[in-house]
Structure 1
Amino acid sequence: MSEIQKNYDPKLLEQKCYETWEKKGLFRCGQTKGVPFTIMLPPPNVTGTLHMGHGFQQTLMDLLIRYHRMMGDNALWQPGTDHAGIATQMVVERNLNAEGVSRHDLGREKFIERIWQWKEYSGGTIAKQMRRLGASCDWSRERFTMDDGLSKAVQTCFIKLYEDGLAYRGERLVNWDPVLLTAVSDLEVVQEEENGSLWHFRYPLVDDSGSIEIATTRPETMLGDVAVAVNPEDERYKHLIGKLVKLPLTEREIPIIADEYVDVEFGTGCVKITPAHDFNDYEIGKRHHLPIINILANDAKLNTNVPKVYQGLDRFEARKKIVIDMEAQGFLVKVEPHVLKVPKGDRTGAILEPYLTKQWFVKAGELGKPALEAVENGSVRFVPDNWKNTYYSWMNDLQDWCISRQLWWGHRIPAWYDLNGKVYVGSSEEDVRTKYGLSLELILQQDEDVFDTWFSAALWPFSTLGWPENTPELKKYYPTSVLVTGFDIIFFWVARMMMFGLYFMKDVPFRDIYITGLIRDAEGQKMSKSKGNVLDPVDLIDGISLEDLISKRTQALMQPQMKTKVEKQTHKHFPNGIEAYGTDALRFTFTALASTSRDICFDVARMEGYRNFCNKLWNASRFVMMNLEDYDANDNQYKIGIAEHWIWHKLNQTIVEVHKHIAQYRFDLLAQTIYEFVWNQYCDWYVEFAKASLNDENVTPEQKQGVQYTLITVLDKILRLAHPIIPFITEEIFSQVKVFTLDSITSIMTSNFPVFDQNLVNEKASNEIEWVKRIIVAIRTIRSEMNVKPSLNILLYIKNATTDELVKLQVMKSLIQSMAKVSDIIVNNDVPMSATTLVDNMELHIPLAGLIDVTAEQMRLKKEQEKLEKEIIRLRAKLSNEKFVANAPLDVVEKEKTKLFEYQSTQAKLVKQFEKLEALLP
C-alpha cells in the first residue's frame, strides 16, 4: 500500500516536484499531435522582479496551458524577457556612477558590453521566481528581445516599413525626459497632481489701444509664444482678432488668432500659443501655419532662441526671473493658487517637457485600420467584452508613433546619413552601399538612436517563433490562442501587436485578449514601491517576518520621508509578518480573485481559506488511501450504491461547469465550482457516507469494493480537475493515487482532463441523496441549537411521511443513523414531547428527555442573550454618535455595522431556541 505523508507541507514537495517536471521535459511543446494552443508570455523587464500583477496573470496563463495540455492540445507557453531600454540603461549607469565612471567615459561599445555582463548576472531573476509559482513554460524556447533572432526581426520590420512609406524621420513634438535626455512613450509618463500657481500676464497691443490678458502655469514658455488665441464666438475679443500684440521681454510681435479649441469659460478666455512646448498648441500652430520656436536645450535649459539674459538658465530658474521681470515692467496682473497635473518620467521622477526634436515615426493611422476592423468583425474578441470600447476610442484617433529613443541600450536604428543628411536604410553599412549604389568614398554615419522598447515588443507573437524565417513553429503556433494582459497596456502593446501582426503576418496575433483587473492592496490602493505597500509573491509562498517585510518595503521607497507611515501601515496589516502559505494556496487565491472587475483587492487573509482547502484535500486523500488496504483495482465485480451514484452525478455536473468557466475565462467561478465540489460534496458528504458504509457490518464485499472504487476514482478526477490551479499538491497526491487506479502515466500533467460522461447522469439518485442530506442537516441543526452532546445517540420520530418517503427512509436508514448519530428511526404519528422540524411536509421529532436539562439550557441561553444585549446597546450608541461616523475610517464604521447585524441575528436565533425549549416544559 502506498502511504501519504501525515501533514501537508508545501515546502517539502514544491521545489522537488518542479525540478522533476522540468527535467523530464514535460513543459515542451509538440508532445501531442493535437490542435495547437499558444500563449505568449508578456515579456517582463529583464531588470525586474516578480510582482503581484505578474504572479496573478502568470497563474491564469499557466492554468490555461495546463488545462489545454491535459485536453490533448499541442500547448506552447512561450517565455522570454524584454531588454527594457531605459530601465536597464539606468541600472547599469547607476552602477558605473558608483565606480566614479560615466557611460561616456567607456564609450558606446564598452558600455553595451557592461550591460550584457549585467544581464547575464541579473537577468534570470524572474525566470527563477516563475518556477516558484509553478509556471509550466517551454523554457527550452526562452527568448530575449535583444537576442540575434529577434534583433534580425526588428531590423527586417523597420526596413519594410520604411520601404513601404510607413516609417519616416521628422521633426515633431514628443515627451522629453531632460535627465535621461531621450524621448519617452506615453506609458512612461506619470501625471501627478500638484499645488502650483496660475500667473496672469498682460500683453500690450501693438497699436497701443489696450492689452490682452493671458494666464499660464509655465511662465518660462512665454518666450516661445507665437500667437494669442481666442474663441471666434467670444464677444469680448472678436474685435481684436487679427491684431498684433507685443510679446513682453522680447522684440517680437505676435498675432491674435481665432480657434474653437479655446474654452471661453477657462481663465481669461485668452490662450498663449507656444507650439514647441505644448501638444495642444502644436496642433493649433499647424492649423494656423504658425512658426515654431523651441526655447529649450535637451537638458531643459533655455537656449539661444531667447533673450541673452535668460540663455543657459534652468527652466525653473528662468521661470522665477521672468516673473520678477514681468512684474518690474508692469506686465504681471496677479498670481493665483492652482492645482495642476504635472507630467513626470516614471523612471527619473523628472518633470517632462513637450520638446521639438527629430525622431523616427511610424504611420500608426494606416496600420491601425485593419487592427480596428479585426475587433469590429469578431476576428479578435476582448474578454470582458467592454474593453473593446477602450480599444476603439484609441484606435479611432491614432497619432503617428514615435519609435526612436536617445539611448545606447536597445536595437540601434539601421539608418545611415551622409554629410548632407540624406537617409539610407538597410541591414548594415555594406548592405546600404550595395542597395543604394554608394561609393566607398562617401562618408556615412549610422543613426545614434535605438528603437522604443514597444517596437520590438510589438513583434513578440511571431518574432519568438522564428520570423522573418518561415519556420515550422511559425506555421504551427501563429496566430496564438489568447493574450493575457492588463488594461493599462491595451494602447501601448496590444494595439501595436495587432497592427504588426496583420501587416507582416496577414493575420491577427491572437484570437482572444483576456484583460485582467489591477491587483490592489486590501484597502483598495494601487500597489507601488513609492507607497511602500507592495507584496512579493514569493514572500506569500515562503513567509516573511515583520522586520524583514518592513525593511523590504522601506528600502524600496522613492520618498524616504514616508518611512514612518509605511512602518505603521505594515504593523497594522501584518502584525506578525506573513505566514508561509505555499504556492498552491497563492495560486488558488489568484484564481478566485480573477473576476471581471477592473480592480481586485488582495487580502492576504483570503489565502488562509485556500491553504485550508489544500489541507482538506490532503487529509481526505489520506483517509481514502488508508481505507484501501483490501481494495483490488483489478476486481470489476463491485456494486455501486445510491450515494456513489450521487457523487458521480455531482462530479459530472462539476466537470461540465469547469469546462464552461474555462472557455468563458471566468476563473473566479472555476475556483468556486471546484472548491464547492471538493469541500462540500466530496469531503463533507461523500467521504462521510463512505465511512458509514465501510463501518457497516451489513455491507457486502461487492458494495465495499464499490465504495472504495468510487472514493479513489472520484479523487483521481478531482486531482485532474484541480491540477491547473493547484499543480503541486495534486501531483504529489496523484503519484500515490495512481497506484490504486493502475495508471502508468508519468505525471498528472500528462493525464487526460475529465470530460462529461452521459452514463454517469443519475437525477433520481441525486434527488434522493439531496433529500437525505436535508434530513441530516435538519437533525444536526436541532442537536446544535439544543446543545445536545455530539457523543449522544438520539431517537428520531417521523410523522406525516408519504409512502415514497417511507420507502426512501428504509433504504437510507443506515446512512441517516450513522451521519446524524440516530439510534433508531420510528415512524409513528403519536410522538412524545420533542424538538420538531420539517423536511417538505414530513415532520422530524427528536425527544430531548434525558438528553438535556431544559431549565439549565434556558438559563444558559438567557445569559448569552444578556451579553449580546449589552453589546447591541453599545454598538447602537457608537453608531448613533455623529462624530464617530464622520471621523472614523469608512472600513471601521462598516465593520461596526456588520458586528451589530451579526449580534442581532444571533439574538433572534437565541430567542427562537428559548421558545422551542419553553414548548418542551410540562
Structure 2
Amino acid sequence: MTIDKTYHPQSIEQHWYQTWENSGYFAPSGHGEPYCIMLPPPNVTGSLHMGHGFGFTLIDVLIRYQRMCGKNTLWQTGTDHAGIATQMVVERKLNAQHKTRHDLGREAFVKKIWEWKEESGGQITRQLRRLGASMDWQRERFTMDPELSYAVREVFIRLYEEGLIYRGKRLVNWDPVLLTAISDLEVINEEEDGKLWHIRYPLANGKDHIIVATTRPETLLGDVAIAVHPDDERYKHLVGKQVQLPLTDRTIPVIADNYVDPLFGTGCVKITPAHDFNDYAVGARHGFEPINIFTPTAHLNENTPPAYQGMERFKAREQIVKDLEAHGLIEKVDKHKLKVPRGDRSHTVIEPYLTYQWYVQSKPLAEPAIRAVENGDIRFVPDNWNKTYFQWMHNIEDWCISRQLWWGHRIPVWYDESGKSYVGHDESDVRQRYQLAEDLPLKQDEDVLDTWFSSALWPFSSLGWPEQTADFKTFFPTNVLVTGFDIIFFWVARMIMMSLKFTGRVPFQQVYITGLIRDAEGHKMSKSKGNVLDPIDLIDGISLDELVQKRTYGLMQPVMAQKITKATQKEFPEGIPGYGTDALRFTFCSVASYTREIRFDINRLAGYRNFCNKLWNASRYVLMNTEGHDTGSDPTAAMAFSLPDRWILSRLQNTIEEAHAALQQYRFDLLAQALYDFTWNEFCDWYLELSKPILTSQESTTEQLRGTRHTLVNVLETLLRLLHPLMPFITEEIWQRIAPLTGKEGKTIMLQSYPQPDSRFINETAVRELEWIKQVVIAIRTIRSEMNISPGKQLSVLFRKGTESDKHNTEQHQHLLMTLAKLASINWLLADETPPQAATAFVSELEIFIPLAGFINKEEESARLNKEIGKLQKDLSLIENKLNNPQFVDKAPAEVVAKERARQEELTSTLFKLRKRLEQVMAF
C-alpha cells in the first residue's frame, strides 16, 4: 500500500473522522471496566477557543488511551444553554431590527431563542469534530432537554421541601443593563483610573467634621453610619455621636467596628449596606436597615432627595460632587487606581444591589463535600488545589440561584393572589401536590435558574437521573473531571455537593486541574487585547487580511482596532499557515504541565508540524524497505535480530512504560516528550540509519534481513499505537498501511490495544553497546562539523587506550561504525604510541584521533576561521558596549536586556570554540 510522498493533513483528517463516527467507534463497547468522562458543556452558541481546544484535547487523549486499554469507555457530550450569553445574542439580533424582547413577549422570544439554537448552536460541535474529539455523539445532551429539565425541577423541589432553598432579600451583583443578578464568575474586576473624594461629614452639633474618603460619592445618599476602628484613639470620643449626612436632612451615627483599617485613608469608613458587600455585613452586625438608592437601571430612586431622583448614577455623581463643592464639603480629590467590577457580557459597571432572590442554603451541602476530598474519595491533581477547594468550602455562603432572564429553566414556583408559594414540576403538579382548586388563579415565578444550577447536576442528569437508567448504573460515578482552576468554586464544588446530596456518591474520583492558556508573552487571550487565536485557524490556516478582520470585528474603539491591526501584521505578516489537527493536539499536550498558566507559542506548533513530517517520512522509508518482502509475520520463520534491532526493541519497552506512567499522573507534557524523543531521536535518527547497513549489505543473511524488517514494521506499528491518542489522524492513515505487514487484524487503530511493556525485550547489554556506538559516531561527526569536512568524505580513524569493552564493541560492530561514521578504516594505536597530528575526541577512556592531513587546506581554513572570528568579535563588542551602558540596562525593557545578555553568552562560547579550532588547524 503506497503512501503519498508529502504529508497533507487536510486531505486525511475529515475523511477519517467521518469514518470513525459513521462506524460507531466512539460508542461504549459494552465490555470491560467502565470509564467515563463528562465533557464540560460549552455554551450552545459559543465557538471553540484555545481553552476549549486545550482541555478537550487532553480529555480525548485520556478517552482514546482508556478505550485502547480495553475499557468500556464513554465520553459524555453535550452543550449548555448559557442563559445570559444566549439571550444576549438573540436580543442583539432583535435590536438590529429596532425591536426588543418585550415587543415579542416572553413566549415568542423564547421561541426565537430555540430557533437560533437550532440554526447556529451546532457550531462548537462541528469544531469539536475537527479537533478529533471521539465523543459519543449519539448520547449528546443539552441542558434544556426535557429529561434534564425534569431533573433540574426535581432537585429544586426536593431542596425546597427540605428547607434548603428559600427566597430572601440580600445583596447581589446586579447588571443594570441586562437587569439581572449575575454570579461572581461573570464579574471582571479590572484596574482603572478613578478618583478618591475626601468628603467632610459635619458633626450634628455643628462644631467639627469627619473626613471620609470614597470612590463613589453618589452612594453617600444611602449611608447609614460612619465606622471607625474601636482602638483608634483619634475617633474614640466620637463613637456614638451623630453626623449630618451631606445633601440630606438625615443624621447618622458614628460606630466602632473591627472591619475598619485605621491605617487606610482617614481611618473613617462610610457604611452603605444596600450598595457594598462588606458594608452589608457591618450593617447587619449593628442592626441597621439598608437604604437602597437605585432603581434596577441604576437611576436614583425615591429614597434620595428630590433633586437627584431619576438621575443616571454617573450623572448623579457629577451633580453631587458639584453640590458638595458648593457647600464646601470637599476636602480634596486624589487620583486613584481602583478595581472596577464590570459585567463580562454587558461591560457595564456592576452594582451591589438589594433584591429578592432565590437561594440555596449551602453549608449543609458543603460539609459532606468537604469530607469527600478530605478522606480521598475525590482526589485533586495536582493536590495543591485541595487548599483552594477547602478555603472556599469552609467559608461558603448561600448561593443565589435566580436570574431575571427569560431564557433558562424557569423557577418551578407558583403564587396565588395572596403571594403564597407552591412548588412543583408544572401547574397541574402543583394543584395535585397541594390539593388546590382548579379555579384558584396561579402565576409562575418570572425568574429562571442560574445556569450553574443545572450544570451542577451534569454528571448524573446527563446519564438519565432521576431514572435509574442503564447508563447511570454503568458510568456513574465518572472517573475524572478535566477542567480549569477558575471554576473550582462555581462548578466543581457544586457538582460534588449536588451529587452527594442526590445520588449518595461522588460525581468523579479525580479532578485534573489544567492551567489556563495564555499567549506567547503570558497575556490572557481576549478580544480587547486582539491576541485571540482560533484553534481552527491553526488547523486550516488563515490569511493576514482574514485574521485582522476577525480580531478587529465588533470593536467599538477605532484606536484599538488600529493597534491590533498593526500588532497582528507584525506577528503574522503572511497570515497563519495550516498546521493540521495532529500538530496542534501534540502541541497542547507538550505544554500541559502542572503550572497555573501556560504560554502558547506558535513556534512550537511549527516544530510539531515538522514532527508529523518526520513520522510520515520515516513510515515511507519503512514501507519502501518492507513491502513485498518477508517481514517475519509467520511465527515459524527463523529470524536473527541485530544489535540495532535488540536496542530499539528494548528502548521501545522503556518508552511504553514512560507513556503509561505519564498518563497515570496526567503529565501530558512528559508523555509528549517521551514519545517525541523516542520517535525523532531513537527511531528516526538512529534506528532507521542503523537498519541501512543491514538491509544493504551483501553479507546479511535471510534471517538477519527478516529480523530487521520485522523490527521495522513492528516497532513502527507499536509506535503508531503509542502516539494515536495524541495524534489520531496521521497514526490512522499510516497504520492502515503498516498493520497488514505485521499481521494485525482490525479496521481501525483506535480499537487496537494500547501497547504494554514486554520484559522479554528488555536488553540492557544491547542498550549499552548501542549507546557506545552512538557516542563514537557522534564524536566523529562533531569533529567533521567543527573542522568543516564534507559529511560524505571517508576518514581513517585511530583508537587508543580504551577498555576491553571498547575493543570488544569495535570488533563486533565495526561494520556499523564504519557505515554510520563514513570511515575508510579503524586502527588501534598502542597505549604509548604517539598519534600523528589529528583532531581528538574522547568517549570515556577511549581516545579517538582523526588525522586531518590532506582533508583541509591550512591557509584557506585559517583564513576562513579568522574572518568568522573577526565578525563575531565585532558583534560581541557592540553588545558589550550596550550592556556596559547604565542608561541601556536601567531603561530598556527587562526582556530586551535579558535577550542581549543571552546573545553575549552565545557569542562568547562560539568564539572560544572557533579559537580552539584555529589552534588545531595552525598546529598541522
- Shift, 1:835, TM fit: 2.0
Matching of residue 849 in structure 1 with residue 850 in structure 2:
no
Name the structure 1 match of 2:483.
485
Name the structure 2 match of 1:789.
790
- Shift, 1:32, TM fit: 4.5
- Shift, 1:891, TM fit: 3.0
Matching of residue 252 in structure 1 with residue 221 in structure 2:
no
The residue correspondences of 1:763-802 to structure 2 (distance < 5 A) are 763-802=764-803
Q: Which among 129, 138, 142 is matched to residue 127 of structure 2?
A: 129
Letter in 1 for 2:840: T
Note the alpha carbon deviations across 1:89-134, whole angstroms, 9 max, x for none: 1110111111122111111000000000000000000011111111
Q: Secondary structure at the match of 1:627?
A: helix
Q: Secondary structure at the match of 2:531?
A: coil
Does the 8 Å contact 1:652/1:757 carry over to 2?
Answer: yes
Name the CA distance, whole Å, in 2 between partners of 1:680 and 1:604.
23
Does the 8 Å contact 1:720/1:753 carry over to 2?
Answer: yes
- Shift, 1:662, TM fit: 0.5
Name the structure 2 match of 1:46.
44
Q: 1:556 to 1:757 in 2, by over 3 A?
A: farther
Q: Secondary structure at the match of 1:513?
A: strand
Name the CA distance, whole Å, in 1 between partners of 2:256 and 2:297.
34
Letter in 2 for 1:875: I
Letter in 1 for 2:676: Y
Q: Secondary structure at the match of 1:310?
A: coil
Name the CA distance, whole Å, in 2 between partners of 1:226 and 1:806.
94
Matching of residue 897 in structure 1 with residue 896 in structure 2:
no
Name the CA distance, whole Å, in 2 between partners of 1:787 and 1:246.
90
Q: Secondary structure at the match of 1:336?
A: strand
- Shift, 1:330, TM fit: 3.2
Name the CA distance, whole Å, in 2 between partners of 1:801 and 1:248.
94
Which is worse superposed, 65-74 or 302-311? 302-311
The residue correspondences of 1:573-588 to structure 2 (distance < 5 A) are 573-588=571-586
Name the CA distance, whole Å, in 2 between partners of 1:887 and 1:559.
31
Name the CA distance, whole Å, in 2 between partners of 1:152 and 1:160.
12
TM-score (structure 2 length as normaliser): 0.98
Name the CA distance, whole Å, in 2 between partners of 1:667 and 1:775.
34
Which is worse superposed, 406-415 or 208-217? 208-217
Name the CA distance, whole Å, in 2 between partners of 1:773 and 1:325.
85
Name the CA distance, whole Å, in 1 between partners of 2:153 and 2:617.
57
Q: Secondary structure at the match of 1:187?
A: helix
Q: Which among 879, 885, 890 is matched to residue 889 of structure 2?
A: 885
Name the structure 1 match of 2:524.
526
TM-score (structure 1 length as normaliser): 0.98
Q: Which among 180, 188, 191 is matched to residue 190 of structure 1?
A: 188
Q: Which among 233, 236, 245 is matched to residue 238 of structure 1?
A: 236
Does the 8 Å contact 1:52/1:535 carry over to 2?
Answer: yes
Q: Secondary structure at the match of 1:511?
A: strand
Name the structure 2 match of 1:450.
448
- Shift, 1:699, TM fit: 0.7
> Alignment length, in residue pairs?
918
Q: Which among 287, 295, 298 is matched to residue 285 of structure 2?
A: 287
Name the CA distance, whole Å, in 1 between partners of 2:724 and 2:205.
82
Note the alpha carbon deviations across 1:747-766, whole angstroms, 9 max, x for none: 00000100111101111111
Name the structure 2 match of 1:646.
647
Name the CA distance, whole Å, in 1 between partners of 2:195 and 2:803.
84
Name the CA distance, whole Å, in 1 between partners of 2:818 and 2:913.
27
CA RMSD of aligned residues (A): 1.3
Name the structure 2 match of 1:612.
610
Which is worse superposed, 843-852 or 887-896? 887-896
Letter in 1 for 2:133: A
- Shift, 1:499, TM fit: 0.9
Name the structure 1 match of 2:434.
436
Name the CA distance, whole Å, in 2 between partners of 1:334 and 1:421.
50
Q: 1:556 to 1:27 in 2, by over 3 A?
A: farther
The residue correspondences of 1:204-215 to structure 2 (distance < 5 A) are 204-215=202-213
Name the CA distance, whole Å, in 1 between partners of 2:138 and 2:372.
32
Name the structure 1 match of 2:15.
16
- Shift, 1:22, TM fit: 0.6
- Shift, 1:271, TM fit: 1.3
- Shift, 1:556, TM fit: 4.4
Matching of residue 713 in structure 1 with residue 714 in structure 2:
yes
Note the alpha carbon deviations across 1:218-244, whole angstroms, 9 max, x for none: 121111111111111111111221122
Q: Secondary structure at the match of 1:28?
A: coil
Does the 8 Å contact 1:554/1:560 carry over to 2?
Answer: no
Gaps of 5+ in 2: none
Does the 8 Å contact 1:530/1:559 carry over to 2?
Answer: no
Name the structure 1 match of 2:916.
912
- Shift, 1:450, TM fit: 0.1
Name the structure 2 match of 1:875.
879
- Shift, 1:744, TM fit: 1.6
Note the alpha carbon deviations across 1:50-87, whole angstroms, 9 max, x for none: 11111111110100100000000111111111111001
Q: Secondary structure at the match of 2:178?
A: coil
- Shift, 1:853, TM fit: 2.0
- Shift, 1:558, TM fit: 5.0
- Shift, 1:432, TM fit: 1.1
The residue correspondences of 1:75-224 to structure 2 (distance < 5 A) are 75-224=73-222
- Shift, 1:889, TM fit: 3.3
Letter in 1 for 2:157: I
The residue correspondences of 1:556-571 to structure 2 (distance < 5 A) are 556-571=554-569
Which is worse superposed, 198-207 or 156-165? 198-207
Q: Secondary structure at the match of 1:75?
A: strand
Q: Secondary structure at the match of 1:335?
A: strand
Matching of residue 762 in structure 1 with residue 763 in structure 2:
yes
- Shift, 1:198, TM fit: 1.7
Name the structure 2 match of 1:3.
2
Which is worse superposed, 409-418 or 440-449? 440-449
Q: Secondary structure at the match of 1:308?
A: coil
Matching of residue 828 in structure 1 with residue 826 in structure 2:
no
Does the 8 Å contact 1:530/1:558 carry over to 2?
Answer: no
Name the structure 2 match of 1:863.
867
Does the 8 Å contact 1:466/1:473 carry over to 2?
Answer: yes
Q: Secondary structure at the match of 2:255?
A: strand
Which is worse superposed, 204-213 or 223-232? 204-213
Name the structure 2 match of 1:391.
389
Name the CA distance, whole Å, in 1 between partners of 2:322 and 2:902.
59
Q: 1:837 to 1:326 in 2, by over 3 A?
A: closer
Name the CA distance, whole Å, in 2 between partners of 1:353 and 1:811.
81
Letter in 1 for 2:109: F
Does the 8 Å contact 1:531/1:557 carry over to 2?
Answer: no
Does the 8 Å contact 1:530/1:556 carry over to 2?
Answer: no
Name the CA distance, whole Å, in 2 between partners of 1:754 and 1:320.
71
Name the CA distance, whole Å, in 1 between partners of 2:337 and 2:18.
55
Q: Secondary structure at the match of 1:780?
A: helix
Name the CA distance, whole Å, in 1 between partners of 2:256 and 2:853.
96
Name the CA distance, whole Å, in 1 between partners of 2:195 and 2:611.
57
Q: Secondary structure at the match of 2:903?
A: helix
- Shift, 1:209, TM fit: 4.1
Note the alpha carbon deviations across 1:28-65, whole angstroms, 9 max, x for none: 11x14111111111111112111111111111010010
- Shift, 1:688, TM fit: 0.6
Q: Which among 377, 384, 387 is matched to residue 379 of structure 1?
A: 377
Q: Secondary structure at the match of 1:4?
A: coil
Q: Secondary structure at the match of 2:12?
A: helix
Which is worse superposed, 472-481 or 559-568? 559-568
Q: Secondary structure at the match of 1:297?
A: coil
Which is worse superposed, 889-898 or 368-377? 889-898
Which is worse superposed, 443-452 or 570-579? 570-579
Matching of residue 507 in structure 1 with residue 505 in structure 2:
yes
Name the CA distance, whole Å, in 1 between partners of 2:320 and 2:168.
32
Letter in 1 for 2:418: N
Name the CA distance, whole Å, in 2 between partners of 1:102 and 1:835.
84
Letter in 2 for 1:663: Q
Matching of residue 418 in structure 1 with residue 422 in structure 2:
no
- Shift, 1:916, TM fit: 2.3
Q: Secondary structure at the match of 1:349?
A: coil
Q: Secondary structure at the match of 1:195?
A: strand
Name the CA distance, whole Å, in 2 between partners of 1:791 and 1:291.
91
